[in-house]
């Protein structure tokens, strides 16, 4: 078995967190450009260097990587394609863990290089706009930072997890803020209420506005099965790939299935799970699944088709006592900026929604109703009438 070793670099360039390997870069360039000479030019290497590296890797791995016939473009062998597929699959499945590893390292270096740096730990349901926000905050120059009144660079230490785990981490003091999502108009008595309401307390927690996003079916290009909703997924026995228990998207799926009168047994692949929107989109792109529930931007990144099913609000939540902390104020300043809101609006499937505004739970989520009593009497909360059985 071949063993892996990792290294990292330090620099000012921002971008997605990736674990890179020079062999995979070589194979991608050959596949894209169709010749070793063109691949070498694209990578900035000499033909001799690329040729030598490919031969060295073939000797190391014990199998051929590239083949070509006279007058024909170079192409990857079956083994070369399998290596590419395995690396891509690992990258997309492990993206949250890779991002968390980079966050740990950057958090340490942020404090080491600048003791004015604000570090805000955020546990959140997986979201591509949050990852973009992190890079946006890091890319702000000194002039922009001064304009935002942050008094120092902002580093978002983002840990992607399920929505429920994120709010629990906030309540247990493991993070300063949590990210979760609900339908834009969450119904009283819904599964979302039964899941999130016990974890949130009006007056203790505050919402910070973030984004509206679209969730729907991620399907192959051209939508060959002509899926328009979950009933079509069940009727065609389309191969589905799910998200894990505890994630907000899994909860959304349960709500949509309840509306469509579907049971888990009706969905082929309901028990198969992947850890992120990117991972389920990757499964569809590579043909191991026909469809998945996910965000539009994940589908568009892989040039897949998308069938919108629901509009969601993505919320950031913190303790009221944290609102005036420097890191929280710095985050709100970035969220409120025109530059961030323009970037967010340009992302497919997203729109800014009260970005950076402090909102009460009761103003956003219709799950708490308070009855006014006579002066001196305590105020009591009433629970909305239950709909159906638990």
Average model confidence (pLDDT) for the chain?
86
Task: Say what the pLDDT of residue 90 is.
Answer: 78
How far apart CA 293 and CA 377 sit, in angstroms, is: 48
Alpha-carbon distance of 28 to 43, in angstroms, equals 10
Q: Which of 87-91, 128-132, 150-154 has the lowest mean pLDDT?
A: 150-154
Above 50 in pLDDT, residue 386?
Answer: no
Q: Place 310 in a pLDDT band, splitting at 50, 70 and 90.
A: very high
**Residues facing residue 155 across a β-bridge:** 119
Q: Kindly report which listed range (17-26, 126-135, 154-163, 186-195) carries the lowest average pLDDT score.
A: 17-26
Instruction: Identify the CATH number of the domain in which residue 34 sits.
Output: 1.10.10.10
Q: Are residues 84 and 174 in the same domain?
A: no
227-263 pLDDT, tens digit per residue, is 999 999 999 999 999 999 999 999 999 999 999 999 9
The pLDDT confidence band at residue 143, using thresholds 50, 70 and 90, is: very low
CATH number at residue 215: 3.40.190.290
Q: Quick check: is 203 in a domain?
A: yes
Same domain, residue pair 266 and 348: yes
Structural domain contains residue 387: no
pLDDT band at residue 384 using 50, 70 and 90 as cut-offs: very low
Split at pLDDT 50, 70, 90, the class of 107 is: low
Same domain assignment for residues 195 and 131: yes
> 59 exposed, middle or buried (CB, 10 Å; 0-12, 13-18, 19+)?
exposed
Contact criterion met (CB below 8 Å) for 29 and 22 = no
In this predicted structure, the answer to whether residue 374 has a pLDDT above a threshold of 60 is no
Same domain for 201 and 130, yes or no, is yes
Maximum average pLDDT range among 2-11, 90-99, 144-153: 90-99
> Band of the pLDDT at 311, cuts 50, 70, 90?
very high
Flag whether 10 is in a domain. no
Total domains, the chain: 2
Does residue 314 sit in helix, strand or coil? strand
Residue 390, pLDDT above cutoff 50:
no
**Do 55 and 202 belong together in one domain?**
no
Q: What is the mean pLDDT of residues 282-298?
A: 96
Tell me the backbone φ, ψ of residue 271, rounded to 5 degrees.
-80, -10
Residues 198 and 292 in one domain: yes
Query: Based on the domain organization, do 281 and 308 belong to the same domain?
Result: yes
Same domain, 113 and 85: no
Position 3 in a domain: no
Query: How many whole angstroms separate alpha carbon 221 and alpha carbon 218?
Result: 9
Range of the domain at 65: 22-93
Is pLDDT at 275 greater than 80 in this prediction? yes
Same domain, 60 and 102: no
pLDDT band per the 50, 70, 90 thresholds, residue 67: confident
User: Is residue 112 pLDDT above 70, yes or no?
Assistant: no
Query: What is the C-alpha to C-alpha distance for residues 23 and 2, in angstroms, rounded to an integer?
Result: 14
Question: Do residues 87 and 193 both lie within one domain?
Answer: no
Q: Does residue 98 carry a pLDDT above 70?
A: yes
Predicted confidence at residue 61, as pLDDT, reads: 87
The answer to whether position 36 is within a domain reads yes
Give the mean pLDDT of 306-320: 97
């Amino acid at each position: 078995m071949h063993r892996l070793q990792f290294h990292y670099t330090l620099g000012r360039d921002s971008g997605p967190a990736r674990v890179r390997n020079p062999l995979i870069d070589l194979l991608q360039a050959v596949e894209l450009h169709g010749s070793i000479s063109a691949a070498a030019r694209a990578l900035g290497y000499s033909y001799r260097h690329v040729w030598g590296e490919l031969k060295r890797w073939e000797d190391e791995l014990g199998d051929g990587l590239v083949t070509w016939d006279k007058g024909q473009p170079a192409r990857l062998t079956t083994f070369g394609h399998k290596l590419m597929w395995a690396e891509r699959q690992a990258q997309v499945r492990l993206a949250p863990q890779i991002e968390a590893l980079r966050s740990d390292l950057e958090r340490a270096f942020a404090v080491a290089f600048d003791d004015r740096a604000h570090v805000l730990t955020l546990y959140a349901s997986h979201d591509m706009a949050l990852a973009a926000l992190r890079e946006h905050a890091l890319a702000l120059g000194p002039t922009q930072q001064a304009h935002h009144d942050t008094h120092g660079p902002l580093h978002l230490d983002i840990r992607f997890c399920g929505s429920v785990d994120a709010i629990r981490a906030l309540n247990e003091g493991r993070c300063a803020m949590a990210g979760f999502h609900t339908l834009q108009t969450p119904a009283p008595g819904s599964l979302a209420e039964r899941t999130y309401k016990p974890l949130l307390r009006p007056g203790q927690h505050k919402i910070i506005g973030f984004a509206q996003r679209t969730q729907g079916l991620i399907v192959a290009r051209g939508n060959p099965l002509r899926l328009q909703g979950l009933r079509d997924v069940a009727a065609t026995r389309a191969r589905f790939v799910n998200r894990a228990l505890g994630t907000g998207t899994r909860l959304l799926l349960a709500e949509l299935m309840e509306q469509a009168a579907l049971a888990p047994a009706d969905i082929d692949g309901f028990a198969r799970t992947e850890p992120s929107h990117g991972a389920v989109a990757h499964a569809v792109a590579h043909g191991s699944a026909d469809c998945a529930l996910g965000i539009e931007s994940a589908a568009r990144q892989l040039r897949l088709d998308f069938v919108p099913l629901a509009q969601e609000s993505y919320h950031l939540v913190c303790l009221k006592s944290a609102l005036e902390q420097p890191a929280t104020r710095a985050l709100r300043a970035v969220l409120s900026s025109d530059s961030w809101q323009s970037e967010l609006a340009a992302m497919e499937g997203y729109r800014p929604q009260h970005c950076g505004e402090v909102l009460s739970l009761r103003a956003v989520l219709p799950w708490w109703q308070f009855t006014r009593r006579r002066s001196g009497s305590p105020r009591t909360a009433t629970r909305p009438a239950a709909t159906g059985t638990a």
